[in-house]
C-alpha cells in the first residue's frame, strides 16, 4: 500500500465539514462561551467576539486548512514541505510551530478530558446511574477528590477508541453521528425554553450591546476565545485539511465550519441564559455557570431532569468530537513524521495524555495552569506562527491554491486574504500576546485573577 492510502482521508466533503465542525464545537461553545459572555456583560462582548471570528478566525482557518491540504501530512511535516524554499528559516520555523502545536494538543487534551469527564458524570447522574444531587455538591465532589478520575478515564477511552479506527471509519463516522445529534438536541432545548420562557430576555442579553460594559480585557478574552473555539493555533485544522479529498472546498468549507461553530455557540447561549433568567440565576456566575448554577435551576424546572440529561448529552457529544481532533494532531504527527502504526500511536499518546490529565483531575490548580498556558500563550503564539508562515514562508502557488478555484472572485479574495494574514492577523494576535504577558498592564489596576479560578468551585446564587 502506498504511503498516501495508508493515512486515510475523509470520504466526503460533508464528512469533512462534520469532523471540522465537531472539532470546533466543543466545551468552548457550550461551557466557556456562555460563562465568559455572562461575565463580560453580554451583547457588546458578543459583537467583539463575532468581529474576532471574522477578522482573525476566518483568515487563520483558511491558512491552516490550505497548509494541511497542500502539505498533505501532520502539521510539522506539512510545514516542512511547504517552507522548503524558504531555507533554514522555513525549517526552523516549522519545527518551532509544529513542535509547539503537537505539545499544545497533548496539554489541552489532558485537562479538556477532565472537564469532559465532569460532563460525563453529570450525564450519568441525570440518566439515573448516579444519585442526583445539587449542582454545587456534585461539582465540589468532582473537583475536590479523586471522583473525576474514572470519568476522565472513560472519556479518554472514548476518544482513543474513535481515533484508533482511523480517519474515515473512526473520526468521520463518529462526527457524522455526533454533530447532527448535537444539533437536534440543541434545537429541542431551544424549543423548550421558547415555550417555558426567558428566551426574549436571553436574546436581549446576548444581542443588545451595552458598550459601557466593554473593557480592554474583554476584547482580549474575545480574541483568545475566537482561537480556542475554532480549534486554531495548534494545527487541528491543518491535520483535518490534510485529509480533505479536494482543494476546491477549502474556502467555502472553512466559512461553513466557522458559521456552524458561531451559530451553535449563540444557540447554546440563548438556551442557557433563558434558563438563568427565567429561574432567577445570575449570568455572571463564572466557570460554575454550567456545572453549578444550571443543575440547580434544572431542579426547579418542569421536566428538568430530562432537560438536564439532554443538556449534558449535548456537552459530552461536543467535547468528544473536539477531543478526537486534539488527539488526532498528536497521532498524525506520530504516524506521518515518526512512522508509527496508527493504533500504537493512538494508544500510546492516549495513555500518556491520560497520565498527565491525572494532575488536573486531582488538583484543580493544575487544570487552571494548563488552561492558562495553552489558551492564553501557546495557541495565540501558534496562531501567530502559522499566520506568518502562511503569509511569508509558503509559496504563492500553495498559499493561494484554495482561492484559484473560485473563478473571478478568487483573485481579489486571495489578495485580501494575503494582506490580512501577513499584516492584520499578526498585528492583532501580537497585541494579545503582548498584553497577556503584561506589557500594557502598567496602566491598569491589577486585574482580578480570572484565569486562576478558571474552574474552581464557585459560589453562586444557588438556593437549596
Which of the ranges 27-35, 87-95, 160-168, 426-434 carries the binding residues for ligand TRP, by CB under 6 A?
A: 27-35
Burial 358-370 (b: 16+ CB within 10 A, else e): bbbbbebebbbbb
Nearer residue to ligand TRP within complex by CB, 31 or 277: 31
- Taking CB under 6 A as the criterion, the residue among 236, 292, 294, 331 binding ligand TRP is 236
3-class SS string, 429-447: HHHHHHHHCCCCHHHCCCC
Instruction: Please list every residue from 155 through 194 that binds ligand TRP, using CB under 6 A.
Output: none
Would you say 102 and 426 are in contact if contact means Cβ atoms under 8 Å apart?
no
- Taking CB under 6 A as the criterion, the residue among 77, 110, 140, 229 binding ligand TRP is 229
Q: Which of 122, 170, 171, 172 is nearest to 143 (CA)?
A: 122
The residue count for binding ligand TRP (CB under 6 A) is 16
Instruction: Please list every residue from 260 through 319 that binds ligand TRP, using CB under 6 A.
Output: none
- Taking CB under 6 A as the criterion, the residue among 325, 362, 418, 460 binding ligand TRP is 325
Q: How far apart are CA 77 and CA 98, in angstroms?
A: 8
Kindly write out the interface string for residues 362-381 of this chain, putting x where it contacts ligand TRP by CB under 6 A and - elsewhere. Answer: -----------------x--
Nearer residue to ligand TRP within complex by CB, 242 or 325: 325
Q: How far apart are CA 43 and CA 432, in angstroms?
A: 21
Which of the ranges 21-29, 63-71, 124-132, 397-405 carries the binding residues for ligand TRP, by CB under 6 A?
A: 21-29
Cβ 446 to ligand TRP shortest distance, Å: 28
Nearer residue to ligand TRP within complex by CB, 198 or 287: 287
Cβ 259 to ligand TRP shortest distance, Å: 15
Place of cell 437549596: 464
Q: How far apart are CA 432 and CA 151, in angstroms?
A: 34
> Within the chain, what is the greatest distance between any pair of CA atoms?
65
Judged by CB under 6 A, does residue 27 bind ligand TRP?
yes
Question: How distant, in Å, are the alpha carbons of 256, 394, 401 from that of 409?
Answer: 18, 22, 13
**C-alpha cell belonging to residue 91:** 525549517
Point out which residues bind ligand TRP (CB under 6 A): 23-24, 26-29, 108, 228-229, 231, 234, 236, 322, 325-326, 379
Amino acid at each position: 500500500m502506498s504511503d498516501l492510502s495508508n493515512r486515510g482521508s475523509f470520504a466526503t466533503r460533508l464528512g469533512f465539514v462534520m469532523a471540522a465542525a465537531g472539532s470546533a464545537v466543543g466545551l468552548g461553545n457550550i461551557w466557556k462561551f456562555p460563562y465568559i459572555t455572562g461575565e463580560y456583560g453580554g451583547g457588546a462582548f458578543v459583537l467583539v467576539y463575532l468581529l474576532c471570528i471574522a477578522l482573525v478566525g476566518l483568515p487563520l482557518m483558511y491558512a491552516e486548512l490550505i497548509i494541511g491540504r497542500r502539505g498533505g501530512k501532520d502539521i510539522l511535516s506539512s510545514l516542512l514541505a511547504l517552507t522548503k524554499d524558504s531555507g533554514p528559516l522555513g525549517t526552523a520555523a516549522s519545527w518551532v510551530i509544529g513542535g509547539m502545536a503537537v505539545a499544545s494538543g497533548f496539554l489541552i487534551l489532558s485537562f479538556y478530558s477532565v472537564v469532559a469527564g465532569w460532563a460525563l458524570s453529570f450525564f450519568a447522574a441525570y440518566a439515573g446511574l448516579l444519585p442526583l444531587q445539587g449542582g454545587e455538591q456534585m461539582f465540589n465532589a468532582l473537583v475536590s477528590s479523586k471522583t473525576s478520575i474514572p470519568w476522565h478515564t472513560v472519556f479518554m477511552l472514548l476518544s482513543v477508541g474513535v481515533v484508533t479506527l482511523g480517519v474515515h471509519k473512526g473520526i468521520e463516522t463518529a462526527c457524522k453521528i455526533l454533530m447532527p445529534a448535537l444539533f437536534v438536541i440543541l434545537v429541542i432545548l431551544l424549543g423548550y425554553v421558547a415555550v417555558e420562557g426567558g428566551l426574549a430576555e436571553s436574546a436581549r442579553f446576548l444581542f443588545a450591546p451595552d458598550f459601557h460594559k466593554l473593557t480592554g480585557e474583554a476584547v482580549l478574552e474575545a480574541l483568545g476565545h475566537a482561537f480556542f473555539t475554532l480549534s486554531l493555533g495548534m494545527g487541528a485544522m491543518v491535520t483535518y485539511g490534510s485529509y480533505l479529498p479536494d482543494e476546491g472546498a477549502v474556502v467555502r468549507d472553512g466559512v461553513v465550519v466557522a458559521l456552524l461553530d458561531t451559530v451553535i455557540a449563540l444557540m447554546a447561549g440563548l438556551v442557557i441564559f433563558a434558563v438563568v433568567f427565567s429561574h432567577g440565576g445570575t449570568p455572571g456566575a463564572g466557570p460554575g455557570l454550567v456545572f453549578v448554577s444550571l443543575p440547580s435551576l434544572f431542579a426547579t424546572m418542569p421536566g428538568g431532569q430530562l432537560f438536564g440529561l439532554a443538556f449534558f448529552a449535548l456537552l459530552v457529544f461536543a467535547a468528544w468530537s473536539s477531543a478526537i481532533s486534539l488527539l488526532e494532531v498528536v497521532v498524525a504527527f506520530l504516524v506521518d513524521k515518526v512512522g508509527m502504526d496508527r493504533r500504537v500511536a493512538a494508544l500510546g499518546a492516549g495513555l500518556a495524555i491520560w497520565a498527565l490529565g491525572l494532575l488536573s483531575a486531582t488538583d484543580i490548580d493544575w487544570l487552571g495552569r494548563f488552561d492558562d498556558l495553552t489558551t492564553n500563550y501557546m495557541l495565540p503564539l501558534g496562531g501567530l506562527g502559522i499566520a506568518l508562515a502562511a503569509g511569508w514562508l509558503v509559496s504563492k502557488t500553495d498559499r493561494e491554491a484554495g482561492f484559484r478555484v473560485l473563478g473571478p472572485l478568487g483573485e481579489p479574495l486571495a489578495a485580501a486574504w494575503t494582506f490580512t494574514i501577513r499584516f492584520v492577523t499578526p498585528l492583532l494576535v501580537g497585541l494579545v500576546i503582548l498584553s497577556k504577558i503584561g506589557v500594557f498592564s502598567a496602566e491598569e489596576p491589577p486585574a482580578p485573577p480570572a484565569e486562576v479560578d478558571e474552574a474552581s468551585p464557585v459560589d453562586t446564587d444557588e438556593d437549596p
